[in-house]
Structure 1
Amino acid sequence: MTIDANADGNAALPGANDDPTYVVFGYGSLIFRPPPHVIKETPGFLKGYVRRFAQKSHDHRGTPTSPGRVVTLVHQEDWARFSSADPFPHEDVVWGVAFTIDPAHAAEVRAYLDYREKDGYTLERVDVHGAGNALVCSAECYVGRNDNPSFVGSESLEELADTVWRAVGPSGRNKDYVYNLAAAVRALGPEAHDSHLFALEARLRELDRASAGTVGSES
């Protein structure tokens, strides 16, 4: 995990450790497995990003020799430059949850998240919006940018689904990460629809059914 400049090129997270209000935005596993010491959860969205399974997971949902895939945020215009085959090119809103952390445990939670998100993620500050595009808060967010070693970029849905369906790591099966995330995003409301996530989920369900049918035919 590194701390870097934000999208505007300004120094990221100035004085973050001195800010009594510590808010972290979750768009992946944090939604269904929140950090400790949360005192408030606020659903909201980021504008100008896509959520894609473009980050290798060597330590949670895969292994160093057989990495799984987990989500990262990518600025929509950056994704468009190297993913012209993306079937969902016009989506640029990512829903998630802003978690406000108990100030008494801010240092503990930062250390926990820095370790949890250590596999190539950069800490940025993002603006979280809500109903009517109103600004809800500014939050810290872990982003696997396209210059980190674990960034894999765009893969076809078939290739991605095959990798995810087979991968298993210390945190469990990679496909369960997808199923849990899809369920958590749906629970945020219909406006949180994510075409890429739901298309991958559907393909994984097809692989599950095909595998079950193969096993049944061999019984």
Structure 2
Amino acid sequence: AYIYGWQRRFWQGSHDHRGTPEAPGRVLTLIESAGARCAGMAYEVTPDTFEHLDHREKNGYLRIFTPLHWLDESGETEGVVYLAGADNEAYLGPASDHDIAAHIARSHGPSGPNSDYVLKLAQALRDMGEHDEHVFAIEKQLLALLS
């Protein structure tokens, strides 16, 4: 599925999954961007699942309703995305690709190395046949730092 008008950025801090309170990792948020197209996975979830997701995404994320388009069929439906704006305490904001990758390379939390999050996301996007300039730029810098 995909949404229009949004793009991914590693601008959100994670002190409970990919980092710690003392050394937060960097995870994705979505930022508004006219003309952008952001592809990903969409799931039908139950109210109980939303309770779990709301708890998991408690680190500054808000639920936003947006039109959701399907990759393999026409039409749209209402979808929900989680995004973290600049007004939350875990927001780290923009930085250079190198600085973001260096931050990710040294971060680790209860859900594992921050680098795994980036590398698995990049591979999932490739498996879908999707290109995300920001994700792939961070992945490239990260791989150089990890080698």
* TM-score range relative to shorter protein: over 0.9
| Distance (whole Å) between structure 2 residues aligned to residue 186 and residue 200 of structure 1 | 14
SS in 2 for 1:100: coil
2:12 counterpart of 1:74 = no
Partner of 1:204: 142
Answer whether contact 1:127 1:135 (CA < 8 A) is retained.
Answer: no
Partner of 1:121: 61
SS in 1 for 2:22: coil
* Structure 1 residues without counterparts, runs of 5 or longer: 1-43, 78-90, 210-219
SS in 2 for 1:97: coil
TM-score, reference length from structure 2: 0.93
Partner of 1:161: 101
SS in 2 for 1:51: strand
SS in 2 for 1:73: strand
Partner of 1:53: 10
2:20 counterpart of 1:63 = yes
Q: Which consecutive aligned stretches of 4+ in structure 1 deviate over 2 angstroms post-superposition?
A: 130-136
Partner of 1:17: none
Compute the displacement of 1:133 (Å): 9.2
| Distance (whole Å) between structure 2 residues aligned to residue 170 and residue 132 of structure 1 | 36
Task: Name whichever structure is richer in helix by fraction.
Answer: 1
Give the 3 Å change call, closer, same or farther, for CA 141–162 of structure 1 in structure 2: same
Task: Name whichever structure is richer in strand by fraction.
Answer: 2
Letter in 1 for 2:18: R
Q: Give the paired residue count.
A: 147
Compute the displacement of 1:107 (Å): 2.4
CA RMSD of aligned residues (A): 1.7
Compute the displacement of 1:136 (Å): 2.8
1:151-200: per-residue Cα shift (whole Å, max 9, x none)? 221101111111000000000000000001111111112xx200110011
Answer whether contact 2:2 2:71 (CA < 8 A) is retained.
Answer: no
Identity of aligned residues (%): 39
SS in 2 for 1:47: strand
